[in-house]
Amino acid sequence: MTRIMFTTARPAARGRWSLPLVMAALGALQTLAFVQTTAWPLAVVSTALLALACGRAAPGRAALLGWAYGFGWLAAGTWWLYVSMHRYGGLPAPLAAAGVAALAAALSLYLAAAMAAFARWRRGRAAPDAALFAALWLLAELARGVLFTGFPWVASGYALVDAPLAALAPWVGVYGLGAVLAFAAALLAHAATLRRGRVAPLLAALALLGLPGLAALQRFDAPAGALTVTLVQTNVAQDEKFAVERMPEAMAWLEQALDGARGQLVVAPETAVPLLPFQLAEFAPGYWDRLVARFAAPGRAALVGVPLGDFDRGYTNSVAGLSDGERYRYDKHHLVPFGEFVPTGFRWFTEAMNIPLGDFDRGVVNPPSFAALGQRIGPNICYEDLFGEELARRFADPAAAPTIFANVSNIAWFGDTVALPQHLNISRLRALEFQRPMIRATNTGMTVVIDAHAEVTAELAPGTRGVLETEVEGRTGVTPFAWWAARFGLWPLALLAALVVMLSAGWRRRAA
């Protein structure tokens, strides 16, 4: 009898775990769309299968399925964090892998809660259930993107930068795109459960996914003049960036590149000069003065990534603007946990890694643009271009809004991984949201010019040292997303989603 009970229980146990494993695989598979964006249908189909599975499950089971999907999604989408922690941070491999897994597991709890609520409050009707699924999906993404400083990497809308739905980006932003994707996916899931001949949800989903791309993209921008730019890619390996023995050669090359640049605007990457001012004065006397002198003449300007401050009063991850004798300073506001500031209670973790300049002070929330060459250039540093709602604050006064965004980055921390094309597509989505060009000067890639249509018009091969010289056209105007996000942040999306959820929950209580 014992043997019979044991053998019959094993298939049941396998059945309980097979579907969560499938959901984890689907979550991982759809992350291909964040690198190769023409694969965006993967994100739609995988989300539809998640909605289908959770719509048939009890709340507890749906929570597990949502968590498994989220874990696969985040682990596959951010596995390169292992490279930064182990290869460059010096963290033991098991601890680095555990760190990535722990982050993915923790952030997937938002999606787990959303799927449990969906299973509890769904009505069994196409449109109300799709609206509920999209609202809960949106709330889960907003929570991940905002709470505890936020981690919106691989938010679902980024998979749509080359999809027809991208036409909605100037209206609803990346989170709104993700909600529309979830709504269409839930309609597809509902259509899969219907009898033959009842195709209204299927047709509605296909129309929603395809029709925005058939209409001409509405433009809210206008030309603001063109200028030539030189973007510098230093290509310094992360384990050599702060090595004293390698620094003289790297800094000499940077000085030579800036000196020979032909563009009116020259942009060098994040911490291109990797020394604080007092260190630079001791290490290379006269270096900074020579850079300032090069851009003192009218008609030339530069943005150079450099840390500013000192160890006693604090220091910032900054961009220095040089133009016509004027000095401009931009200090990074949205810092990366563990890499740029130490969260409370986690100093033991950061001390286990070798991260120079790992505890920066924050800059102001809404800094002025760099006014030069007839343009207003809005710097942002690395990770900051994930937060479109923060960049939107610069559009509260259209007369002072950036005409060009300039992202300076150093993601050499992640090696030659999918982090590079992922970050490129994030910048492309920002260009769609604001209808602004985004120029990117990076240490190891992707150094590119993105126009206001989110098209890459010029690029430098990643992993190479060199300069990219081309032309960029500034733009004026304010998109609907820039208008409402500048005034209200992400609250309109959150409140709309909460209202849908409350109506669905109230209906279920009345029906019971």
* C-beta of residue 303 within 8 angstroms of C-beta of residue 370: yes
Kind plus residue range of the DSSP H or E element containing 262: none
Q: Which amino acid is at 483?
A: W
For residue 371, give the 3-state DSSP assignment.
strand
Tokens 């609907």: give the residue.
480
Q: How far apart are CA 385 and CA 391, in angstroms?
A: 7
CA proximity to 498, closest of 171, 142, 58:
142
Question: What are the two backbone dihedrals, phi and then psi, of residue 83, each rounded to the nearest 5 degrees?
Answer: -60, -45
Q: How far apart are the first and last CA of the chain?
A: 43
Kind plus residue range of the DSSP H or E element containing 456: strand 456-460
Handedness of CA 14, 17, 19, 21 (dihedral sign): negative
Strands 466-476 and 456-460: unpaired
Asked about 332 being catalytic, the answer comes back as yes
Residue 250: partners with Cβ closer than 8 Å, 6 or more residues away: 234, 236, 240, 241
Q: How far apart are CA 231 and CA 466, in angstroms?
A: 9
Asked about 270 being catalytic, the answer comes back as yes
Instruction: Please pick, among 54, 141, 241, 270, the residue that the annotation labels catalytic.
Output: 270
Instruction: Please pick, among 332, 384, 433, 473, the residue that the annotation labels catalytic.
Output: 332
Q: Burial of 470 by CB count in 10 Å (0-12 exposed, 13-18 middle, 19+ buried)?
A: middle
From residue 315, how far is each of 83, 341, 342, 363, 453 by CA, in Å? 26, 11, 14, 10, 36
Asked about 241 being catalytic, the answer comes back as no
Q: How many CA atoms lie within 13 A of 346 on its CB side?
A: 14
* C-beta of residue 107 within 8 angstroms of C-beta of residue 74: yes
Tokens 């009505």: give the residue.
123
Alpha-carbon dihedral angle through residues 256, 260, 263, 266, given to the nearest 10 degrees: 10
**CB burial string 64-84: b at 16+ within 10 A, e below:** bbbbbbbbbbbbbbbbbbbbb
* C-beta of residue 435 within 8 angstroms of C-beta of residue 219: yes
Instruction: Please pick, among 54, 382, 433, 473, the residue that the annotation labels catalytic.
Output: 382
Q: How far apart are CA 268 and CA 247, in angstroms?
A: 16
* C-beta of residue 74 within 8 angstroms of C-beta of residue 108: yes
Q: How far apart are CA 240 and CA 88, in angstroms?
A: 10
Q: How many CA atoms lie within 13 A of 453 on its CB side?
A: 7
Active-site residues, by number, are 270, 332, 382
